[in-house]
Amino acid sequence: MSRSSAASLPVRPGEELWTDEELGEVRAELADEAAGLRAEIDQAESQIAQRLGDTVSEAGDDEADASSKLYEREQELALTHNTRELLEQTEHALARIDAGTYGVCESCGKPIGKARLLAFPRATLCVECKQRQERR
């Protein structure tokens, strides 16, 4: 990113403008996180596929064993779903950085706040809009 593009990202009153270094660090953190999440999803999917393949050999299990294994599979699927959602949010933040819209609240269009983004880089809403959303 050029200096003007990092400095052109919105900040709340009283906050210093983004620097290329700060934005680069956030981008690198998000990119690393996305890579880790992709690896986690790949590993979980292969484990789920392996366990589904084991279903045939488990045909003789009693009801308790079968129920326990089904519960474990459902838990793995739920965790994989949550990881996918986190990956989606992370990729969305990276796309917003690339598009120059990082830091703009997707609800009201005001600045999210540099401090909020440094603490939670995937934020898409300012604090006020997030609080309003959570009250619903």
Domain annotation covers residue 119? no
Domain annotation covers residue 134? no
Domain annotation covers residue 111? no
**Single pTM value for the model:** 0.78
Q: Are 92 and 124 in contact (CB under 8 A)?
A: yes
- pLDDT tens, residue by residue, 7-58: 899 999 999 999 999 999 999 999 999 999 999 999 888 887 777 666 556 5
Domain count, the chain: 1
Q: Measure the CA–CA gap between 63 and 82, rounded to whole angstroms.
A: 28
Q: Are 52 and 72 in contact (CB under 8 A)?
A: no
Which residue is listed with tokens 């589904």?
52
Collapsing DSSP states into helix, strand and coil, what is residue 104?
A: strand
- pLDDT tens, residue by residue, 92-120: 999 999 999 999 999 999 999 999 999 99
Domain that holds residue 19: 3-100
